[in-house]
Structure 1
Amino acid sequence: MEGSLIERRTIRKTMIRIVPLFGLFYFLSYLDRSNIGFAALTMNTDIGPSPAAFKPLAERLSETEPNGGIYRVRPDGNIQTVDSGYLVPNGIAFSPDRSYALTANTFAGDIYRYEMNPSTGDVGACSTFVSTAGLPGHADGGCFDSKGYYWSAMPYSSSIVRFAPDGVVDRVLQLPLPGPTMVAFGSNDTRTLFVTTAPDFIPKAQRAGFEEVGPVLRIEGIPENILDDTPFQAVGEPL
């Protein structure tokens, strides 16, 4: 009789302690599933993701269908489609005065300009900023300097191209490594340019010695008078 009482008490304590915990887990799981379902519905409506968006990078780079787009997340969390029809969108950067943004359509060979309202961030008309046909590589990651010039990394080459605000090529910098993918200014004086590289963009026959993962280059001492006719040759070293 005593053993039966102890057994009942044990089962009762176990139920009191475990069942509420399982109930809590079930409730949290239900909430999570609801949120995921809601997110799927809203995202499918707002940005229309396709199976192509989840393909490996190598497959996506070989595609010819313009499945890419530019999207803006508004302060209220809503997603706005700015533009579509891109092969591979890259290099989004905002001018120093925030009056326009540039975006590269990498394999289509164009860099587009989007007018913007600096106060609200609303996006206006789109126009072609420059065609990269005839330049080395394809426009990839990019950034502005303080004087409004746009620096664009050019994979499939060893070059960085600096465009004037009117789209004219200001200069082409040759790097000691192939496959630059992104550029950004840093350091306290903002006169140091950092460049990420990806030798995988270069055919194996042309990248002897660079089979390892691409290093980050640091180019120091970019002169203040770079807008003048003073010659400037990039000399970068791996970090």
Structure 2
Amino acid sequence: MQIEVLVDVKTTLGEGPLWDAQQERLYWIDSFDGRVFRATADGREIRCWDVPQKIGSMAIRKDGRGAVVSLARGFHFLDFQTGDVALIADPEPDKPNNRLNDGKVDRRGRFFAGSMDTMEEGPNGALYRLDPDLTVTRIDDGIIVSNGPCWSPDGRTFYFNDTWSGEIWAYDYDQDRGAVSNRRSFAKVDRSRGGAADGSTVDAEGFLWNALVYDGRLVRYAPDGRVDRIIEMPVKKVTSVMFGGPDLDILYVTSMAKPPLPRFPGDGVLRGSLFAIHGLGIKGVPEPRFGG
């Protein structure tokens, strides 16, 4: 196994690595600075788009010419050709202290993204589903910080976490209706070193990978929730993970250069880097595109 710094752009809050298998390009975001990045699998041909608000997550649209993005004040479209950003819907116009955060697309092209309390204190957030016809549905609520949405390879289990709950949840997922049920604890998070569950992905074997932010570790959980493997990273503030590369066998890891609140730890010179881990002997699954 080899961990390398793929791109060092010192993202204030790097998040949401996304490999688009059709374009063979890697996307990631700077959540606090409102930027979307794109590069080749080996970190070349870097392109950047600015968005007008903090950004929580993104997904490539079905035509590949743009993305759906969860900005602080709602779901938007980003046009890659012009850089224009257009509002789709704001699901929380009455909650100015919230912002939208992490999100991903299910096998039927629906975009799921949750909101969070910006002070990371109150259960004021919720989980939403944006359908290809651009309707928005609330899926769950009572969440402090929405993070880690992803699905099992067969699409029948949905994983999600409230970062400060101390656990990762699993739901039964109805692919026809885009509905969740039977929320239960999938895994308890080891918070003994001050870390918390952040972004997740699922590999081709059905194991879930989670970034333990502020702890500097990546944890691979088996489908039954047991800890299968732990990888120590060179920075504490790792934020999210995604398999990519032409063979889907590179694990990309984002990190933050500056903690959002003063109570969180700092890092060394590699803070804010985008990392690539080679030689794991594990492959991911292609990430779907948004259907709208």
TM over 0.5: yes
1:135 positional shift: 5.5
Amino-acid identity (%)? 31
CA 1:50–1:206 in structure 2 vs 1: closer, same or farther (change >3 Å)?
closer
1:139 positional shift: 0.6
1:189 positional shift: 1.6
- Structure number with bigger Rg: 1
Bigger relative CO (Cα 8 Å, ≥ 6 apart): 2
Question: What's the C-alpha RMSD, in Å, of the aligned pairs?
Answer: 2.9
Moved over 6 A (4+): 202-205
Q: Please tell me whether residue 53 in structure 1 is matched to residue 98 in structure 2.
A: yes
Task: Report the TM-score, using the length of structure 1 for normalisation.
Answer: 0.66
Task: Report the TM-score, using the length of structure 2 for normalisation.
Answer: 0.54
Equivalent residues in 2 for 1:1-239, closer than 5 Å: 47=92, 49-53=94-98, 60-134=117-191, 136=193, 137-201=195-259, 207-210=267-270, 214-224=272-282
Supply the distance in 1 between the matched residues of 2:127 and 2:150 (Cα, whole angstroms): 12
AA at the equivalent of 2:121? T
SS for the counterpart of 1:140 is strand
AA at the equivalent of 2:149? I
SS for the counterpart of 1:71 is strand
1:178 positional shift: 2.3
**Superposed CA offset, 1:29-63 (max 9, x none):** xxxxxxxxxxxxxx68x6564121159xxx94534
8 Å CA contact 2:166–2:191 kept in 1: the answer is: no
Hey, which of these two has a bigger chunk of helix by percent? 1
8 Å CA contact 1:97–1:118 kept in 2: the answer is: no
Q: 5+ residue gaps in structure 2?
A: 1-88, 101-115, 284-292
1:119 positional shift: 3.4
**Superposed CA offset, 1:195-228 (max 9, x none):** 0011423978752434xx6010011121159xxx
Hey, which of these two has a bigger chunk of strand by percent? 2
SS for the counterpart of 1:209 is coil
8 Å CA contact 2:203–2:282 kept in 1: the answer is: no
